[in-house]
């Protein structure tokens, strides 16, 4: 099995060097230090903390990497399924089973090759030494297209696994009412709820209904690439990309239709009108939206206590915006927004570390992706 080390050994206290990020971050409520955890990754997509504080990180070309004591190990983790590493496709999110310490299950979402196309899939395997064993696909979406894989993975308090699937760039201009994201007979534009082995829970909202995929929890989404479960309230949050404007923060509830592409707050690329309007009966409104788009990505609900002023805030990454949107929440309402960490690279993923600090995954090309840590200076 992996040799586990203390979380305190992760932190690299060197001055930040990649992407010219600041070594200090002045926000509305608190001043923070920014330090490098590791760099030299390629096209980072997701990462997750092991119980010891080591980090598993995915590289979109198809590698799962281990970061120990701030060092990116040279040898990738073995046993990764073949991925469709073109365009937006590749190896995407990574999550641990809630009982990982006893069963060692690691979950990966990825673009699965399907003849000359691909689909969103989820595989799991047991982590032993530097390889995954007993690897199996537990979910293969009925969705094909050029991109918009979705692919975020989250477990809730009861051990259910939620999986997002994007609309796969299906044309939003033609027959919107019958767009694949409005058709529950496939997985385009959906949030899906599974048992940890991929089987379908009997209380999913559409189980037993003819012509509807039984894994679907909600639908009418575009490309959800951020998701978080609030263990205190039981709420499930996602963010999703709009086109040119209209990124959304949504509170996900079972069986509901979130409207893509019939309603929305953005326009199509090039500025062409896309939606007939922003509201329609039977379709949910976002809790918050961004115009212009920040290209929403990874997201975390902060509960760590180390940055006390941020407790209960949602931190939403931005790719095109190269930023983090810090949302102050009052229950399910966004009461204020602050833009932080702007102009320092594409924020692909955000996680809360076991030490209570915030860890940011910065996307990049060849050897230019990194993970950095933000925390009050006194915490070092």
Q: CATH no. for residue 276?
A: 2.120.10.30
218 in Cβ contact with 241 (< 8 Å)? no
Each residue of 63-86: pLDDT tens digit? 999 999 999 999 999 999 999 999
**How is residue 148 written in tokens?**
């918009």
Is residue 2 situated within a structural domain? no
Is residue 202 situated within a structural domain? yes
The predicted model gives 140-161 an average pLDDT of: 97
Q: How confident is the model at residue 7 (pLDDT cuts 50, 70, 90)?
A: very low
Helix or strand (DSSP H, E) at 229: strand 224-229
Catalytic residue among 97, 148, 187, 288: 148
Q: How confident is the model at residue 247 (pLDDT cuts 50, 70, 90)?
A: very high
pTM of this structure: 0.94
User: Phi first, then psi: what are they for 267, rounded to 5°?
Assistant: -120, 165
Each residue of 120-148: pLDDT tens digit? 999 999 999 999 999 999 999 999 998 99
Residue with tokens 């915490």: 379
Q: How confident is the model at residue 174 (pLDDT cuts 50, 70, 90)?
A: confident
Number of domains making up the chain = 1
Q: Is 229 a catalytic residue?
A: no
Residue with tokens 């326009």: 267
Question: What pLDDT is recorded for position 378?
Answer: 65
Is residue 342 situated within a structural domain? yes
**How is residue 177 written in tokens?**
């009412």
* Domain assignment of residue 343, given as a range: 7-379
Is residue 289 situated within a structural domain? yes
- In angstroms, what CA-CA distances link 206 with 138, 225, 284, 359? 19, 23, 18, 37
CA atoms within 13 A on the CB side of 270: 3
Is residue 260 situated within a structural domain? yes
Q: In angstroms, rounded to a whole number, what is the distance separating the alpha carbons of residues 297 and 352?
A: 15
Of all residues in the chain, the percent with pLDDT exceeding 90 is 86
Q: How confident is the model at residue 260 (pLDDT cuts 50, 70, 90)?
A: very high
Of all residues in the chain, the percent with pLDDT exceeding 70 is 93
Q: What is the mean pLDDT of the chain?
A: 92
Is residue 319 situated within a structural domain? yes
Is residue 1 situated within a structural domain? no
Q: In angstroms, rounded to a whole number, what is the distance separating the alpha carbons of residues 243 and 146?
A: 15
The predicted model gives 12-24 an average pLDDT of: 47
The predicted model gives 326-330 an average pLDDT of: 98
- The alpha helices in 39-110, defined as continuous H runs, are 100-103
Dump the DSSP string for 144-177. Answer: -SSS-----EEE-TTS-EEEEE--TT--TTS-GG
The predicted model gives 21-40 an average pLDDT of: 88
């Amino acid at each position: 099995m992996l040799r586990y080390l203390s979380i305190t050994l992760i932190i690299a206290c060197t001055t930040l060097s990649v992407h010219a990020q600041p070594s200090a971050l002045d926000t509305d409520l608190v001043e923070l230090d920014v330090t490098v955890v590791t760099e030299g990754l390629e096209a980072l997509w997701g990462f997750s903390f092991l119980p010891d504080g080591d980090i598993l990180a995915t590289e979109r070309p198809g590698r799962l990497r281990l970061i120990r004591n701030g060092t990116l190990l040279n040898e990738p983790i073995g046993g990764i399924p073949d991925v469709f590493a073109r365009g937006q496709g590749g190896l995407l999110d990574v999550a641990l089973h809630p009982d990982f310490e006893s069963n060692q299950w690691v979950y990966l979402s990825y673009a699965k090759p399907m003849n000359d196309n691909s689909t969103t899939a989820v595989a799991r395997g047991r982590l032993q030494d530097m390889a995954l064993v007993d690897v199996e696909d537990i979910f293969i979406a009925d969705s094909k297209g050029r991109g918009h894989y979705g692919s975020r993975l989250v477990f809730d308090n009861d051990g259910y696994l939620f999986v997002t699937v994007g609309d796969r760039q299906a044309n939003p201009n033609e027959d919107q009412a019958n767009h694949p994201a409005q058709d529950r007979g496939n997985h385009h534009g959906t949030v899906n709820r599974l048992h940890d082995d991929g089987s379908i829970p009997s209380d999913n909202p559409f189980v037993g209904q003819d012509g509807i995929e039984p894994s679907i929890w909600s639908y009418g989404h575009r490309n959800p690439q951020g998701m978080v479960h609030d263990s205190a309230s039981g709420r499930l949050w996602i963010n999703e990309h709009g086109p040119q404007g209209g990124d959304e923060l949504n509170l996900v509830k079972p069986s509901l239709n979130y409207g893509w592409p019939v309603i929305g707050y953005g326009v199509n690329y090039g500025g062409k009108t896309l939606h007939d309007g922003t509201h329609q009966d039977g379709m949910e409104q976002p809790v918050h939206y961004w115009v212009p788009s920040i290209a929403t990505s990874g997201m975390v609900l902060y509960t760590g206590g180390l940055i006390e002023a941020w407790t209960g805030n949602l931190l939403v990454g931005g790719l095109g915006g190269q930023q983090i949107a810090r949302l102050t929440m009052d229950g399910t309402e966004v009461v204020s927004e602050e833009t932080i960490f702007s102009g320092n690279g594409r924020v692909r993923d955000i996680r809360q570390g076991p030490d209570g600090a915030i860890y940011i995954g910065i996307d990049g090309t060849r050897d230019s992706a990194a993970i950095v840590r933000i925390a009050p200076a006194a915490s070092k």
